Structure 1
Amino acid sequence: MKILCNGEAQETPSGTRVADYLSQLGLDASSVVVECDGKILTREEYASHVLQDGSVLELIRFVGGG
């Protein structure tokens, strides 16, 4: 199925959960905020929220520095 992630068209299998998608991208879920279709998800929702064809994701990563 097709989704839009940070403005880029992406393909992912049907039934993919947000946590699975983050893992596919090699991202640590604890350092990412996910907005899906205009709703900011809690980290608890990552494991249960199933992406739909046409979902629009915005991923915001936290980066530490000094």
Structure 2
Amino acid sequence: MEIQLNNQPKKISPHSSVQQLLDEVVGEKQKGIAIAINNTVIPKSAWTQHLIQSNDNILIIKATQGG
């Protein structure tokens, strides 16, 4: 199925959870990340249960350090 990931089209497996997507896209360094699907923030506690739907617009935001 196809989704929009950070405003880019991406194909993923059907029935993928947010956590599965993050494992594929981000890898192990998942601290400081926020996820919004269709302009709704998904709490980290729901990442393993929340299933992604076809045509979802997903935004992955990474916190960065700066000064």
> Do the structures match in fold with TM over 0.5?
yes
**Contiguous gaps of at least 5 residues in structure 2:** none
Q: Tell me which protein shows more helix as a share of its residues.
A: 1
**Contiguous gaps of at least 5 residues in structure 1:** none
Match for residue 2 of structure 1? 2
Give the TM-score taking structure 2 as reference length: 0.88
For the aligned residue pairs, the C-alpha RMSD in angstroms reads 1.3
Identity %: 15
Aligned residues: 66
Distance in 2 between residues matched to 1:9 and 1:48, nearest whole Å: 23
Match for residue 14 of structure 1? 14
Match for residue 44 of structure 1? 45
Distance in 1 between residues matched to 2:32 and 2:8, nearest whole Å: 21
